[in-house]
Structure 1
Amino acid sequence: MLTLTPDDVEFIGNDIERGECILATRSGDLFLPDRRGGINIIHPDGATDRTMARGAPEGFLPNGIALLPNRDFLMADLGPGGGVWHMSRTGEMSPLLLELNGRKLEPTNFVGIDRLGRTWVTVSTRLVPREQSMKKGHADGYIVVIDDRGARVVAEGIGFTNEAIVDPSGKWLYVNETIARCTSRFPIRDDGSLGRKEVFAQYGAGTFPDGFTFDEEGGIWIVSVVSNRVIRATPDGKQHTVLEDVDRVWLDEVEQAFQNGTYTRKHLDSGGQRKMGNLSGICFGGPDLKTVYLASLFGSRVASFRSPVAGAAPVHWEF
């Protein structure tokens, strides 16, 4: 299996700020959020455009994004306002989901769509500020589904809910639990509710899973903040570290802090001091779906490398 160093990756794009999530389409375009309040579009030649949001709430911080068939976007607001917003391809903003059962959504991590037209939303924690939840064993994150029945919570008690994506079969919703340090999955029932959670992959010391994507062989590729790792996990339980970029002495300190309950935002952000910029998002792209693209919290460009395994085409591939 592929094993790389930071020197093996290439970079594309420019002037990106906090491109936490990344999407690719057959056209060759890449899409990432921007902390300044909008969407970055990296074209195949590397040129980068930005569409700024108009009418966003104060403190709006786009995090997870979903591309719609007409190239509008859904955007999860990790800022104090929380919730999910719709942004037209020209930047006009309108709210999609800001409260549920009379309760305002907390800072919202991720939003995605599936092939049945459902929208999946994750909230990492009910605690504000959310850094309070970055403790081993804390698990109050939840998942919301929006469909023709409306919006409702379908899973709770998650160890810092991060990306949640329906797999290519349409039968499972996978989710990264960053503080529980695992990738879990739920069977999806016909009515959009979820069955019992099971752990697909449990990660070891120094791995805090954030974004992920599927390959055509059933593998899941996750990226880890702090350690700047790319890990491929397969259904037979095997894990392979494709790439990492870390100061191992510092990572030992981070691990000790996590285990003794002194883990803070400074530990989470420390991966930003490395070349990979604190990896947070991953997708497959390119004409053959064998180019891996990596997004980061602190990098101004997108890293990429070639994979021997093709990715599974995401729901937005033809958009």
Structure 2
Amino acid sequence: MLPNREFLLANLGPGGGVWRLDKDWRLWPWLFEAEGELLRVCNFVGYERDGTVYISVSTRHFPRERSMRPVIADGFIVRVDAKGARLVADGIAFTNECRVDPTGKWLYVNETQGRRISRFEIRGDGLGPKETVHEFGAGEFPDGFAFDSEGGVWIACVLANRVIRVDAKGKGHLMIDDGDAAMIAQGEAIFQSGKGGREWLELGAKRSLRNIASVAFGGPDLKTVYLGCLAGDRIPTFRSPIAGAEPVAWRF
């Protein structure tokens, strides 16, 4: 959400790019290219407190299913500010959600096919080298995430149907688990085979949580957790003992 209560939307579909949704529900093209790179597989767009926008592009492969193999790491991140749009990070193993942490010092990103969450130190209008925050286990493919008020990160893992909290020291804690060991092993084997495609990913839709892909904190005390599920037709919710960090748009 933007301060004027319009929205920027990442289009992961065939057209790609970032679009602006105005208050009358009209869509306008916003950004489709940066430094000669097309934003075709555009996964996520986030507006930060200083007005900077970060955009994740999962892969240069098109369609994106061609990149769904362990050996592919060609995703990148675009920064948009007063100087324009430019690439600030590259070589990411399927760039998924990317967000600035509550301290404003780090840009975190989920590398779905790398099965890790990484971060970059924000240095002026650029980024420092990539650091690994936490590596996930077999079948745990990180998709969306949200920060909490104690320095933790809550990550939704597709296929495994798990929510894992990574604390400030990088240790993982299982918060929600709707996984099935046999199904996870099957999906992991398909992914590791390197044949590409979505078959391994879509196995998670067979569980009751229908492939958890995003997590958000809400409610007056920011202790209500909401889950977005790829194949679901409802939004599961539960109460957390830890409040979420205040989202950027909380005071818009």
TM-score by length of 2: 0.97
- Where in structure 2 are there 5+ consecutive unaligned residues? none
**2:3 alignment counterpart:** 69
Distance 1:102 1:137, change over 3 A: closer
What letter is aligned with 1:124? S
Structure 2 matches for 1:96-107, cutoff 5 A? 96-107=30-41
Deviates more, 1:298-307 or 1:267-276: 267-276
Structure 2 matches for 1:7-86, cutoff 5 A? 67-86=1-20
* Structure 1: distance between partners of 2:93 and 2:6: 31
Q: Give the counterpart of 2:213 among 267, 273, 280.
A: 280
Match status 1:172 vs 2:99: no
**1:257 alignment counterpart:** 190
The superposition leaves residues 247-270 of structure 1 with CA deviations (integer Å, 9 ceiling, x where unpaired) of 321211111222232453021112
Q: Which has the higher strand share?
A: 2
Match status 1:162 vs 2:96: yes
**1:235 alignment counterpart:** 168
* Structure 1: distance between partners of 2:169 and 2:246: 22
Match status 1:217 vs 2:138: no
Match status 1:143 vs 2:73: no
**1:183 alignment counterpart:** 117
- The question of whether the paired residues in 1 share the 8 Å contact of 2:46 and 2:54 is answered with yes
SS of 2:165's equivalent in the other structure is strand
What letter is aligned with 2:93? G
What letter is aligned with 2:189? Q
What letter is aligned with 2:154? W
Aligned-residue sequence identity (percent) comes to 53
- The question of whether the paired residues in 2 share the 8 Å contact of 1:200 and 1:235 is answered with no
Kindly indicate whether structure 1 or structure 2 has the higher relative contact order, using CA contacts under 8 Å at least 6 residues apart: 1
Residue 107 of structure 1 and its aligned partner are, at CA, apart by 2.0
- The question of whether the paired residues in 1 share the 8 Å contact of 2:187 and 2:203 is answered with no
The superposition leaves residues 200-228 of structure 1 with CA deviations (integer Å, 9 ceiling, x where unpaired) of 11111110000000011101000001111
Residue 79 of structure 1 and its aligned partner are, at CA, apart by 1.3
What letter is aligned with 2:194? G
Distance 1:252 1:102, change over 3 A: closer
- The question of whether the paired residues in 2 share the 8 Å contact of 1:216 and 1:312 is answered with yes
After TM superposition, the runs of 4+ consecutive aligned structure 1 residues lying more than 6 A away are none
What letter is aligned with 2:142? P
SS of 1:267's equivalent in the other structure is helix
**2:127 alignment counterpart:** 194
- Where in structure 1 are there 5+ consecutive unaligned residues? 1-66
**2:230 alignment counterpart:** 297
Residue 300 of structure 1 and its aligned partner are, at CA, apart by 1.0
SS of 1:197's equivalent in the other structure is strand
What letter is aligned with 2:33? E
Residue 176 of structure 1 and its aligned partner are, at CA, apart by 0.2
* Structure 2: distance between partners of 1:90 and 1:272: 34
Match status 1:315 vs 2:248: yes
Count of residues in correspondence between the two structures: 252
- The question of whether the paired residues in 2 share the 8 Å contact of 1:210 and 1:281 is answered with yes
SS of 1:74's equivalent in the other structure is strand
Residue 157 of structure 1 and its aligned partner are, at CA, apart by 0.1
**1:42 alignment counterpart:** none
- The question of whether the paired residues in 2 share the 8 Å contact of 1:254 and 1:263 is answered with no
SS of 2:251's equivalent in the other structure is coil
**2:45 alignment counterpart:** 111
The superposition leaves residues 172-198 of structure 1 with CA deviations (integer Å, 9 ceiling, x where unpaired) of 0000000000000000111x2110110
What letter is aligned with 1:257? I
* Structure 2: distance between partners of 1:229 and 1:247: 10
* Structure 1: distance between partners of 2:41 and 2:7: 18
